[in-house]
Structure 1
């Protein structure tokens, strides 16, 4: 042995391990080939920007903590799904459908639209929006492009069958429909229990359309407590922490959605569905009020160019209805690897990716 070559000492082992870890990260492959996002403003990352609507947020202070600034995300930074795609190993966020031309659609697309709902009429008083039915039609456009890109139908179907389809929608069917009796007749037509049944039945049909189009891995979200948002408490509050009638309306939705997921898993045996409930540990978050100044004709949204709070990492809500980047990260982490059935059932996102 050359006397100049000496064995590496123990002190060098951590450095070697770190270098190997960096090499593994550089060569990392996402846990699923693609991730498709369907939903409303909780997931929208720019699809509403070019619509004629009051529900768009491509202005400051939105995006104050996002590297690209205001992009159409309804908070100060990243959405819940931005975090999840990073946990899954994707290098980039999913592009909005409205700006997907020239982007890598093989890795996924975001179809979500602020003010949209399961029902087509939901949110129509706010102007342009893309209801779930139309989002599904937009996905058909993307499927055609993927099929052309991959050269044949069977390759595209194999690709799509391994992707995760995230569906987080329904809040607006209450906030911008059922609880607006001055504009919609749903609350005169249905009791809260009946309305939840109608919504979940329609959502079931929409999920089956995605299934028929090749989807096999579904992450379906329940509703959060919509009566506990700053806007709900400000406009409809009675001095209590939450507006009970809002929560009593949306809770039946979750109670009907969970059995639907069980039923779909039983009937569509070549597919996997999981039910996720946005929740998380609020330790360290001390404020449930809006971080930004809200008001004007957009009500629950931040006033353009207004100065938000400085301690954003301690706030649950960014504006009147949308959570902060910090809260989204907490929720994303919980549903990604949670073993709690009240958060993810029958499995979390990480396990769904492995199936």
Structure 2
């Protein structure tokens, strides 16, 4: 599904049994730019695109595909573990379909003081709005036949490069991280409630906040050297994306972040392993501290 903007850090994986396909398993990934695989390439007026260098330089073929990283997304890495191919761009399959769902609400809206959402709502009101909207969408997916859903919670957004530059010493923004944790807690309660009230629903919340924070706080443990800035030197006042005239670091595998918002391929590999291990521990023998 196509998303516009920058990361909310939410991944919803939905499995649906389709009678029309002899009850074969279908997997859908609804996400933001963290899971984007090229949908925005098909949106004429989207300002959030990554179909240019240096995005994709470490992806097979070395070409920009529309992924907001130097290589693979978490969805790309998890898919083979589930025995399915990497997710295609939804709009490449249905180029005439209207599949624009929404923008990225936290980073793109509430954390931007000059935009309407940050002025119109208090944080508590905004969390309530997001949670209520999420409930509507999860119930709608259930009504369409989805029974197994995994909701990937927010990571420590206060520690991504685009937020660190707002502090005097490049530190994590504590208040932003507190907001994130409150949102995650509300979503966990929502999912527990839906599981109780929707027959046969199997919804899971993947709380990866601590895993991502540990990767940022202790990069050396995972084979990284830099976690407080990005490999691609970006101008956050101009969107924070890695442009063709940006300066790159000498070794992408040493950096947790690729641009001001998105993890590098190496970081995605570790986070995907942790995510997969926590949810599908019976299907993997991954170590507790993977490295690259």
Identify the TM-score tier after normalising by the shorter chain.
Answer: 0.7 to 0.9
Hey, what does 1:55 align to over in structure 2? 48
The 8 Å contact of residues 227 and 243 in structure 1, kept in 2 or not, is answered as yes
Is 1:183 equivalent to 2:153 in the alignment? no
Taking structure 2 as the reference length, the TM-score comes to 0.77
**1:295–1:303 CA contact under 8 A, matched in 2:** no
Relative to structure 1, is the Cα distance of residues 46 and 73 closer, same or farther in structure 2, using a 3 angstrom cutoff? same
Distance in 2 between residues matched to 1:257 and 1:242, nearest whole Å? 23
Kindly indicate whether the alpha-carbon contact (under 8 Å) linking 1:261 and 1:274 is maintained by their aligned counterparts in 2.
yes
Deviation, 1:351, is: 6.2
1:81-230 maps to which residues of 2 (within 5 A)? Answer: 81-90=75-84, 92-101=85-94, 130-132=100-102, 172-184=104-116, 186-230=117-161
The answer to whether the 8 A contact 1:296-1:303 is kept is no
Three-state SS of the structure 2 residue aligned to 1:328 is: helix
**Cα distance change on mapping 1:202 and 1:33 into 2, 3 Å:** same
Q: Secondary structure at the match of 1:64?
A: coil
Structure 1 176/299 Cα, relative in aligned 2: closer, same or farther at 3 Å?
same
Instruction: Tell me the residue number matched to 1:16.
Output: none
- Contact 2:236/2:260 (<8 A) preserved: no
2:224 corresponds, among 278, 285, 291, to 285
Question: Hey, which of these two has a bigger chunk of strand by percent?
Answer: 2
Structure 1 match to 2:31: 39
What corresponds to 1:80 in structure 2?
Answer: 74
Larger Cα-atom Rg:
1
Question: Contact conserved, 2:42 with 2:92, CA < 8 A, in 1?
Answer: no
> Match of 1:36, SS?
strand
Unaligned 5+ segments in structure 1 are 1-31, 103-110, 112-129, 133-169, 339-347
Give the superposition deviation at 1:183.
2.1
Structure-to-structure mapping, 1:300-315, within 5 angstroms:
300-315=240-255
- Give SS of 1:48's match: helix
Asked if the contact 1:42–1:74 (Cα under 8 Å) also holds between the matched residues in 2, the reply is yes
Residues 89/310 of structure 1: CA separation in 2 closer, same or farther (3 Å cut): farther
Whole-angstrom CA distance in 2 between matches of 1:302 and 1:242 = 21
Q: Which runs of 4+ in 1 moved over 6 A?
A: none
Query: How far does the alpha carbon of each residue in 1:301-345 deviate from its partner, in whole angstroms, 9 at most, with x for none?
Result: 01225452232112110000100111111111111122xxxxxxx
Which secondary structure state, in structure 1, belongs to the residue aligned with residue 39 of structure 2?
coil
Q: Deviations over 1:173-202 (max 9, x none)?
A: 122111223221x33443222321221111
1:241 equivalent in alignment to 2:241: no
2:242 and 2:86 mapped to 1: Cα distance?
A: 24
Partners of 2:27 and 2:238 in 1: how far apart? 31
Distance 1:183 1:77, change over 3 A: same
Distance in 2, Cα, partners of 1:198 & 1:296: 27
Corresponding position of 1:274:
204
